[in-house]
Amino acid sequence: MREKLDFKSNLLIGSLLFGLFFGAGNLIFPVHMGQLAGSNTLQATLGFLITGVGLPLLGVVATALSQSESLYDLAKPVNRGYSIFFTCALYLTIGPLFAIPRTATVAFEVGLNPFIAEEYLQIGLLVFSLVFFLVTLYYSLRPGRILDWVGKYLTPIFVVLLSILLIATYVSPMGQVSQYPPQGVYIDKPLFTGLLDGYNTMDALASIAFAIVIISNIEKLGVKNPKGKAIETFKSGLVCLVGMGVIYASLAYMGATSLASVSRADNGGAIMSMVSNHYFGFIGKILLAAIVTVACLKTAIGLITSCAQMFSELFPKSISYNKYAFVFTIFSFIIANFGLNKIIQLSI
């Protein structure tokens, strides 16, 4: 039995945690926030980091410290009825009702929308979301390999692809942050609004669900002691925190400086599409399509896996893990076809 993980293992677990967290809302919300916050982007970004990075890290560490086997165990001290209700409500929110469908719609909105004529957008979303969720289901039915798929492969690919776009933003800025006055609530309450924007990524909620996946993988690497698991969870969480913090701040900067070259948009997906086209033209559209598809796919896999595991454990006499994964995937596919803006309105 190991007392602690080596640096390479901490890096791998941190990469898995980053991969599970960083999905649809994480890409589009900070960009849109930056465009609206303008010269108040720094305050808004600080608020975003508190709830978008700080709270998720606390959620994962708190779950490890509680020595709970699941969210149900974590909430059970209140009473059994509350625990069942809270567990179901949280997993359905971060699962098939909002967060999982959002992964497919963001990938489509940002990645493929620019290539499809407006009259074919609905059928395009239908076909894309079908393929997206078939791939998600394939990997979700093999939960034992999530550390390899997400931690070793998908997350590094995503970081490399996104870095190309972010580096271009710093090397050749589209404008200056101070040039553009803030809009709406960002004029008087940039910090508070940033707090809400960070919470709307749903990572604070997802952290309690993903914590179980992280802790189980730490156990597989040999750390069994409860205190040791909490320490290693925290260390791995710091890797995730640094990575997410840098990328969030860069995306907000991208949004804040974008108005010198692109127009305002209703969501961050459209802004990212215009920015990538500004820097790299047609190649930029392909690059962005790859970035968001990888980002959203890895989060969808993590969410389907977490939700199916939780419901199969919470209701052991109902249906199997594989059947829950199938049901959640089908339901997410249906919700996704309502479109990104509708899903964001409903989730908020």
Decide if 228 is inside a domain. yes
Q: What is the pTM for the complete model shown?
A: 0.80
For residue 303, pLDDT over 80 is answered with: yes
CATH (domain of 323): 1.20.1740.10
Decide if 275 is inside a domain. yes
Confidence grade of residue 78 (pLDDT, cut at 50, 70, 90): very high
pLDDT tens-place string over residues 95-150: 888 889 988 888 888 778 778 888 888 899 999 999 999 999 998 888 766 656 66
Decide if 233 is inside a domain. yes
* Cα distances (Å, whole numbers) of residue 274 to 138, 181, 254, 255, 317: 32, 21, 11, 11, 50
Decide if 347 is inside a domain. no
CA 45 to chain centre: 17
Decide if 134 is inside a domain. yes
Decide if 145 is inside a domain. yes
pLDDT value of residue 151? 62
Which amino acid, one-letter code, is at 48? Answer: F
Q: Is the distance from CB of 95 to CB of 303 less than 8 angstroms?
A: yes
Q: Is the distance from CB of 173 to CB of 257 less than 8 angstroms?
A: yes
Q: Which of 18-27, 63-72, 79-88 has the highest mean pLDDT?
A: 79-88
| Angle at alpha carbon of residue 305, lines to 300 and 307, rounded to 5° | 95
- The number of helices, as runs of H, and strands, as runs of E, in the chain is 16, 0
For residue 58, pLDDT over 80 is answered with: yes
Q: Is the distance from CB of 47 to CB of 193 less than 8 angstroms?
A: yes
Count of domains observed in the chain: 1
SS3 category, 315? coil
Decide if 153 is inside a domain. yes
Range of the domain at 114: 7-340
What is the four-CA torsion angle of 272, 274, 280, 284, rounded to 10 degrees? 50
Decide if 345 is inside a domain. no
For residue 163, pLDDT over 70 is answered with: yes
Which amino acid, one-letter code, is at 199? Answer: Y
pLDDT value of residue 146? 62
pLDDT tens-place string over residues 246-292: 999 999 999 999 888 887 887 787 888 888 888 888 888 888 888 88
